[in-house]
């Protein structure tokens, strides 16, 4: 399977987000870059529980919860964030 992360840039991310009715803020970019970092390191995406724990460790309690993620990326947050980040969503760690 081709690794989509290579064919990505900020303009592509903004275009995808626009189609998803998401206006990217610095908070969105934190999650997008975090997912890209994790995918680059592990060649898979974390599940929601693991992602929340990583966000909590990195950005604190206020951001390290599912409500925060759902606020940024409503309806299937990992899937939407991954697609915007240029990552193949099928590569999720269960």
Longest Cα pair distance anywhere in the chain, in angstroms? 36
Contact between 93 and 50 (Cβ < 8 Å): yes
- Per-residue DSSP letter, 4: G
Catalytic, out of 27, 71, 93, 94: 93
Is 23 one of the catalytic residues? no
Closest CA to 44 of 1, 93, 84, 7: 93
23: phi then psi, degrees, rounded to nearest 5: -95, 110
Q: Which residues are catalytic?
A: 93
């Amino acid at each position: 399977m081709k690794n989509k992360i290579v064919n990505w840039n900020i303009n592509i991310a903004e275009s995808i987000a626009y189609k998803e009715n998401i206006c990217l803020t610095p908070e969105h970019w934190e999650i997008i870059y975090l997912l890209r970092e994790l995918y680059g390191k592990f060649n898979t995406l974390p599940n929601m529980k693991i992602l929340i724990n990583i966000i909590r460790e990195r950005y604190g309690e206020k951001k390290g919860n599912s409500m925060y993620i759902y606020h940024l990326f409503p309806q299937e947050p990992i899937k939407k964030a991954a697609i915007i980040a240029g990552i193949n969503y099928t590569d999720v760690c269960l």
